[in-house]
Structure 1
Amino acid sequence: MHTIVMTGATGGIGRAAAHEMLRADPDLHLVVMSRPGVPGTDAPQLDSGIGRSTPIATDLADIDSIQAAVHEVTRQLDDGSLPPLVGIVGNAGLQFVDALHETVDGLESTFAVNVVANHLLLRGLLDRLSSPARIVITVSDTHFGDLRHNLGMVPAPRWSSPSVLSRPRAFDEPGTVRAGRRAYSTSKLAAIHLVHEWARRLPEGVDIVAYNPSFVPGTGLVRAAGLRDRLVGRWLLPAVAISPTIDRIPTAGKKLADVVLGHTRTASGSYVDRTRVVASSDESYDPDRERELWDFLEGLAGLRTTASQ
C-alpha cells in the first residue's frame, strides 16, 4: 500500500481523477485536503465505501491551516496510520471576478491558493516522500496569453515581483473581471515557474510535472463573465466540446490520473498538455524569475515558522 496526498479532489476534474486513481490502483490510499464541510469529501462518498481515502481539513488560503494539515499527515505517516507517501497532487485552483480578494495572511487569494499553497505543501511533505515518487501540479494553458489557448477570454499574464503579485490590487482596474482573470493566468505562469525550480532541487527518485487539462467545459471558466464571454460559453463551447482538442470532465480527470500514476511517461519538470509532453510558453522558462519566486515563497514559509514557535 502507498499514499498520495491530493488537493482539489472534491469536484470537477479532480474528483474524476480521484475516482480513477482509486479504481486503477488497488494499493492506493488517497489523502484529500479540502475545506471542512465541502460536499463529497467524506471517505464513503469519495471512494464508494472501499475505505481507501482519508479527508484532512485544510483551508488552502490559510498558511496556518496548511501547516496544521501537513503536521497531521506527517503524524499519520510516522505512526503507520498511513502507508508510505509516494505522491502529491496540487490540483486545487481559484479564479475570481476581481483581484481584490485577500486571505487571512494578507495575500491575494488567487496567488495564495494557486501558488503559495502548493509550495508550502511540497515543502512540508518533501522529507516524507518515498522514492520513487511523483508530484503533479495542475496548471493552465491560459499562461500562453494568446487566442489559440484561451479563446480570447483570459488576458495574458503580466509578471512583476512576487512580492507585488502576491498582494491584492496587483493589476490595473483590480475590481474588474479582467483583472481577476489576469491574476489567474499570472498565477498559472507562476506555478510553472515553481515546477521548474522544484525540478532542479528535488532529490533523485522524486519528480515533478505540470499538467495542463486545456479547456474543459463545465468547470466554471466563464462564470461571472461579460456578455461576449457568456455568448461564447452558451453557443461556441457546446459546439467545440466534441472536438478532439477539448475534453469533458471525466476524460480530463482520467488524463490527470494517468499523469499522477505514471502511465503518462515524462521527465521531471515537464509540461504535459493532456497526454503529450510539450513546451510551455517561452516566457515560462526563466531561471531568474524562478529563483526569485522560490526565495519569496521560502521567505513566507520561514517567517510563518518563526512566528509560530
Structure 2
Amino acid sequence: MSTVLITGGHSGIGLAAAQALAGKKIDLVLAGRSPDRMGQVAGELRAEYGVGVTSLALDLSSLASVRAAAVRLRDMLGSGEVASLDAIACNAGGRFDGEVSPSSDGYERTFATNCLGHFLLVQLALPYLSEHGRVVYTSSSTHDPDSTDGRLVGAVVEPDAVALAGNGKGGLQALSAGKRYSTSKLCTVMYAYELDRRLRTAGSSISSIAFDPGSVPETGFLRGMPKPVRWISASAAMKWVMKRIGAVTSDAEFSGASLAALLTSPDYADVSGKYFQANDGKLSAVRSAQLSYDERRAAKLWDDTKHLVGLAADEEPILLR
C-alpha cells in the first residue's frame, strides 16, 4: 500500500488532500506542529476510511525540529510502522503579518517556514522515497509579479536566500508581509524546478512538481488578519470580485483533490518539472513566473539554502551531490 507524507495535512487544503487520498486507500503521515489536532484527524481518517495514519511532530520554522522529524520518519520506516514512502507534499506554510519576527534559528519566519524547513525535509527524506516517488511543492500565484495575485499581495523581490533569511536585521528596512510571502512562494517554485533538474541529471525516476492551489480564503491562510477582513475575504461577493479581476480562485475541496491527484494519480506520472494550477474548478499545467525559470538564480538559491540549513555532507542525498 502507498504512503504519502503531507505537511499541514490536518487542516485546510492539506486536510482535504488527506481525505481524498484516504478515500483511495492510501496510508498517510500527517506532519505538523499541532499534535492534538493531528491525533484527532488521524483517528477520524482511520475510522472512516480504514487506512493507516501516523502523526509526525514537525515545526518547519525550526531546523532542529525538521531533523528530529526526519529521524523519526526513518525509524518508522525501519520498524514497519510506516510501510513505505511514496510521495511528499510540501504543503504547510504561512503568511506572518506585522513586524518581522525571527525563527528559533534566527531567520525571518516566513522564509524559514515556507522555504528552509521544506528544503531540509526533502533533503533528509529523499533517500527513503520510493523509486518512482513524487515531491509536490505547494506554491501560490502570488509568486508571479505579472499576475493579479502578485500585484495584490506585493511584487516579489530578488530570490536571494541569504537576504531573505536575514530580512529586517541590521537596521535595514524590512519587506512587507506580502512581499515576504510572495517571494517565498517564488523560491518554492524554483526549488521544485531545481530539484527536477538535479534528479534528471542523476537519472532518477522521482518527480518534482510545483502546485498552485489558488486563493482559498476559507483556510487558515488569513488567520492572522482581523475577523472582518477574514469574513469579507471568504464572502461570495468577494470571490466574485476576485474572479472578475483575474485572480486565481478555488476551494479547499477541489484544491485538496488536485494536490492528491498530483501526488498519486497515474495521470501525473510524467510531469516532473511542471507547474500546475487549480483555478475555478480546473487543474491545468500553466507557465509560472518568468523569473522562476532562471537556472542560474535557482542554482544559487539552492546552494545558499544548503548553507543556511547547515546541510552536512552525509545529510545530502547521494543522487543530488
Fold shared, TM-score > 0.5 on shorter chain? yes
Moved more, 266-275 or 8-17: 266-275
Give the C-alpha shift of residue 149 in structure 1.
Answer: 3.1
Give the C-alpha shift of residue 81 in structure 1.
Answer: 2.0
In the alignment, the residues of structure 2 paired with residue 148 and residue 299 of structure 1 have an alpha-carbon distance, to the nearest angstrom, of 34
Give the C-alpha shift of residue 136 in structure 1.
Answer: 0.4
Which residue of structure 1 lines up, in the alignment, with residue 168 of structure 2? Answer: 169
Amino acid at match of 2:277: D
What secondary structure, in the 3-state scheme, does the structure 2 residue paired with 1:273 have? strand
Amino acid at match of 2:258: K
What secondary structure, in the 3-state scheme, does the structure 1 residue paired with 2:110 have? helix
Which residue of structure 2 lines up, in the alignment, with residue 269 of structure 1? Answer: 273
What TM-score do the two structures reach when normalised by structure 2? 0.84
Instruction: Answer yes or no: is the 8 Å Cα contact 2:111–2:164 preserved in 1.
Output: yes
In the alignment, the residues of structure 2 paired with residue 36 and residue 230 of structure 1 have an alpha-carbon distance, to the nearest angstrom, of 22
- 1:24-76 superposed Cα distances (whole Å, 9 cap, x missing partner): 2x2x2211111143524442034436351100111111111110110111111
Moved more, 115-124 or 1-10: 1-10
Match of 1:296 among 298, 301, 304: 304
Which residue of structure 2 lines up, in the alignment, with residue 237 of structure 1? Answer: 238
- After TM superposition, the runs of 4+ consecutive aligned structure 1 residues lying more than 6 A away are 228-232, 241-244
Which residue of structure 1 lines up, in the alignment, with residue 28 of structure 2? Answer: 30
Distance change in 2, residues 1:256/1:114 (3 Å) = same
Distance change in 2, residues 1:160/1:89 (3 Å) = closer
Q: How does 1:62-101 map to 2 (within 5 A)?
A: 62-98=62-98, 100-101=100-101
Gaps of 5+ in 2: 315-321
Which residue of structure 1 lines up, in the alignment, with residue 140 of structure 2? Answer: 140
Instruction: Answer yes or no: is the 8 Å Cα contact 1:29–1:52 preserved in 2.
Output: yes
Q: How does 1:109-128 map to 2 (within 5 A)?
A: 109-128=109-128
Give the C-alpha shift of residue 2 in structure 1.
Answer: 2.5
Instruction: Answer yes or no: is the 8 Å Cα contact 2:30–2:38 preserved in 1.
Output: no
What secondary structure, in the 3-state scheme, does the structure 2 residue paired with 1:153 have? helix
Which residue of structure 2 lines up, in the alignment, with residue 159 of structure 1? Answer: 158
What secondary structure, in the 3-state scheme, does the structure 2 residue paired with 1:124 have? helix
What secondary structure, in the 3-state scheme, does the structure 2 residue paired with 1:295 have? helix
Distance change in 2, residues 1:159/1:18 (3 Å) = same
In the alignment, the residues of structure 2 paired with residue 41 and residue 8 of structure 1 have an alpha-carbon distance, to the nearest angstrom, of 13
Which residue of structure 2 lines up, in the alignment, with residue 247 of structure 1? Answer: 250
Amino acid at match of 1:272: F
Output the aligned Cα RMSD. 2.9
In the alignment, the residues of structure 1 paired with residue 12 and residue 172 of structure 2 have an alpha-carbon distance, to the nearest angstrom, of 31
Instruction: Answer yes or no: is the 8 Å Cα contact 1:32–1:41 preserved in 2.
Output: no
Instruction: Answer yes or no: is the 8 Å Cα contact 1:157–1:186 preserved in 2.
Output: yes
Moved more, 44-53 or 62-71: 44-53
How many residues get paired?
A: 300
What TM-score do the two structures reach when normalised by structure 1? 0.87
Please tell me whether residue 213 in structure 1 is matched to residue 213 in structure 2.
yes
In the alignment, the residues of structure 1 paired with residue 262 and residue 195 of structure 2 have an alpha-carbon distance, to the nearest angstrom, of 17
In the alignment, the residues of structure 2 paired with residue 20 and residue 288 of structure 1 have an alpha-carbon distance, to the nearest angstrom, of 37
Instruction: Answer yes or no: is the 8 Å Cα contact 1:112–1:166 preserved in 2.
Output: yes
Amino acid at match of 1:122: V
Distance change in 2, residues 1:48/1:153 (3 Å) = farther
Amino acid at match of 1:37: P
Moved more, 282-291 or 293-302: 293-302
In the alignment, the residues of structure 2 paired with residue 238 and residue 279 of structure 1 have an alpha-carbon distance, to the nearest angstrom, of 23
Give the C-alpha shift of residue 118 in structure 1.
Answer: 1.2
Q: How does 1:191-230 map to 2 (within 5 A)?
A: 191-202=188-199, 203-221=203-221
Instruction: Answer yes or no: is the 8 Å Cα contact 2:222–2:230 preserved in 1.
Output: yes
Instruction: Answer yes or no: is the 8 Å Cα contact 2:159–2:297 preserved in 1.
Output: no
In the alignment, the residues of structure 1 paired with residue 256 and residue 159 of structure 2 have an alpha-carbon distance, to the nearest angstrom, of 32
Which residue of structure 1 lines up, in the alignment, with residue 317 of structure 2? Answer: none
Give the C-alpha shift of residue 96 in structure 1.
Answer: 1.1
Give the C-alpha shift of residue 192 in structure 1.
Answer: 0.8
Give the C-alpha shift of residue 256 in structure 1.
Answer: 1.2
Instruction: Answer yes or no: is the 8 Å Cα contact 2:94–2:221 preserved in 1.
Output: no
Which residue of structure 2 lines up, in the alignment, with residue 259 of structure 1? Answer: 262
In the alignment, the residues of structure 2 paired with residue 245 and residue 294 of structure 1 have an alpha-carbon distance, to the nearest angstrom, of 28
Instruction: Answer yes or no: is the 8 Å Cα contact 1:99–1:183 preserved in 2.
Output: no
The structure with the largest helix share of the pair is 2
Instruction: Answer yes or no: is the 8 Å Cα contact 1:58–1:65 preserved in 2.
Output: yes
Which residue of structure 1 lines up, in the alignment, with residue 183 of structure 2? Answer: 186
In the alignment, the residues of structure 2 paired with residue 232 and residue 172 of structure 1 have an alpha-carbon distance, to the nearest angstrom, of 34
Distance change in 2, residues 1:232/1:123 (3 Å) = same
